[in-house]
Amino acid sequence: MDVSTFCTQSHVLIVAGKGGVGKTTMVAAIARMAADAGLSVLVIELEGRSGVSDAFGHGDTIDYAGAVLSAAGANEVEEDLGPESEAPHIPPGSVQARRITPDDALIEYLADHGLRRFSKRLMSSGIIDIVSSAIPGIRDILVLGKVKQIEQAGLADLVLVDAPATGHAMTFLSSASGLLDAARGGPVRTQASEVVELLTDPVRCQVALVTLPEEMPVNEVVEAAYQLEDKVGVSLGPIIVNACYPPIRGLEVSAADAAESAGVTLDDDLREALDAASTFRRTREVLQREQIDRLDHELPLPQLRVPFAFAASIGPDELQLLADALKAGVTALPDTALPHTALPDTQAAVP
């Protein structure tokens, strides 16, 4: 499948998964891949610093107004963007990012509904805290309502949402349907209903789950996939298996034998260190293979495997490496990976 087709299967792609598995890094890599394919991308960060800007070499924290992370044909352009009403369609091949908080979304909502003069004062009086304790889930609806508005404004070919870690993501994504059941009418119900419409329409929104090729993250991602389909009704894209160690050939040969055939001599310490490193790596590769196979067996979704980048941190060079690996995985997907196939009825179907 070509990258453009893959990246435009849904307008919004929510990247979710267990804490620390690489959600933010994969958001950045997907954004890089999509922009390289000439698409316009808007990354949405939620509360808290997510680090997506670091991967693009953009040092500053992203705010509500947003910033350019990568302009078409040039990296590291720093530029603040104006308010939504003035925001033009993002140029093809570039990546912009915005950070959406419930407070900012509420101020904008109030301003859009003729309460601009009061909105700042209401916010400084801590009204959001009062409202959120009275209506659980309202913070999530405010943020997702804003995502929906951005999607409908058609500002970018792809809107990527860096979701919170799994437990919180499940609450975040199921708040709208919860509120829909609770609210009989009024603006909250309307907002919740529009968010549910977005989440349950596979052409508008999908979730890409990220995992590591390790036992606990694989267990969690299988469970999360079924819960997301059952509780949220959202469609799932391919599973991203992040930080896979690439296989190294020749590890089965001992350091002493390898040295002899190369005509070099090794002292004992070096030989032992090399043997220990090779044993570690072979064990890791076996475990990784087992977990990837198990995931494949338990979750009938295509997998995109991304390598571990051996670097102190992920900057633009490493990001390009990860984006290129993702692209290779996407290109190898059959076109038939497109239909939004539902998982088997229950997880019990898994042996």
Ligand X SMILES: Nc1ncnc2c1ncn2[C@@H]1O[C@H](COP(=O)(O)OP(=O)(O)OP(=O)(O)O)[C@@H](O)[C@H]1O
Candidate residues 90, 232, 295, 314; the one interacting with ligand X per rule CB under 6 A: 314
Asked if 10 touches Mg ion (CB under 5 A), the answer is no
Angstrom distance (rounded) from CA 44 to CA 66: 9
Give CA separation, 154 vs 130, 216, 220, in Å: 33, 38, 33
Count of residues binding ligand X (CB under 6 A)?
18
* Helices and strands (H and E) in the chain: how many: 13, 10
Angstrom distance (rounded) from CA 334 to CA 337: 6
Residue 46, amino acid = L
Asked if 212 touches ligand X (CB under 6 A), the answer is no
Specify the stretch interacting with Mg ion by CB under 5 A; choose among 16-24, 181-189, 191-199, 258-266. Answer: 16-24
Cα-to-chain-centroid distance, residue 45: 10
- Within 165-194, the residues that bind ligand X by CB under 6 A are 165
Asked if 315 touches ligand X (CB under 6 A), the answer is no
Cβ contact 135:184 at 8 Å: no
Give CA separation, 116 vs 85, 108, 122, in Å: 15, 8, 10
**Closer residue to Mg ion (CB): 23 or 99:** 23
Q: Is the dihedral of CA 246, 247, 253, 258 positive or negative?
A: negative
Asked if 291 touches ligand X (CB under 6 A), the answer is no
- Answer with the entry of Mg ion, ligand X, none that 20 interacts with (C-beta below 5 to 8 A by kind): ligand X
Q: What token pair was written down for 178?
A: 């919860």
Asked if 243 touches ligand X (CB under 6 A), the answer is yes
Q: What is the DSSP letter of 151?
A: H
Asked if 240 touches ligand X (CB under 6 A), the answer is no
**Closer residue to Mg ion (CB): 144 or 196:** 144
With CA atoms as reference, report the closest residue to 28 among 318, 332, 331.
318
Candidate residues 9, 10, 25, 40; the one interacting with ligand X per rule CB under 6 A: 25
We find the least distance from the C-beta atom of residue 153 to ligand X, in angstroms, to be: 26
Q: What token pair was written down for 121?
A: 């004062």
Angstrom distance (rounded) from CA 20 to CA 89: 32
We find the least distance from the C-beta atom of residue 165 to ligand X, in angstroms, to be: 4
- Answer with the entry of ligand X, Mg ion, none that 261 interacts with (C-beta below 5 to 8 A by kind): none
Angstrom distance (rounded) from CA 241 to CA 12: 20
We find the least distance from the C-beta atom of residue 64 to ligand X, in angstroms, to be: 19
Phi first, then psi: give them for residue 158, nearest 5 degrees: -135, 125
**Closer residue to Mg ion (CB): 24 or 191:** 24
Task: Give the pairing type, strands 303-307 and 158-165.
Answer: unpaired
We find the least distance from the C-beta atom of residue 285 to ligand X, in angstroms, to be: 16
Binding mask 21-40 for Mg ion (x = CB under 5 A): --xx----------------
SS3 state of residue 194: helix
Give CA separation, 86 vs 83, 90, 153, 338, in Å: 6, 12, 12, 35
- Within 74-133, the residues that bind ligand X by CB under 6 A are none
- Answer with the entry of ligand X, Mg ion, none that 306 interacts with (C-beta below 5 to 8 A by kind): ligand X
Specify the stretch interacting with ligand X by CB under 6 A; choose among 37-45, 126-134, 179-187, 307-315. Answer: 307-315
Q: Which residue has the tokens 């993702």?
A: 326
Q: Which residues contact 264 (CB under 8 A, 6 or more apart)?
A: none
Asked if 198 touches ligand X (CB under 6 A), the answer is no
**Closer residue to ligand X (CB): 147 or 183:** 147
Asked if 20 touches ligand X (CB under 6 A), the answer is yes
**Closer residue to ligand X (CB): 55 or 183:** 55
Specify the stretch interacting with ligand X by CB under 6 A; choose among 21-29, 133-141, 150-158, 199-207. Answer: 21-29
Residues that bind ligand X (CB under 6 A): 17, 19-25, 51, 165, 242-243, 306, 308-309, 313-314, 322
Residues that bind Mg ion (CB under 5 A): 23-24, 50
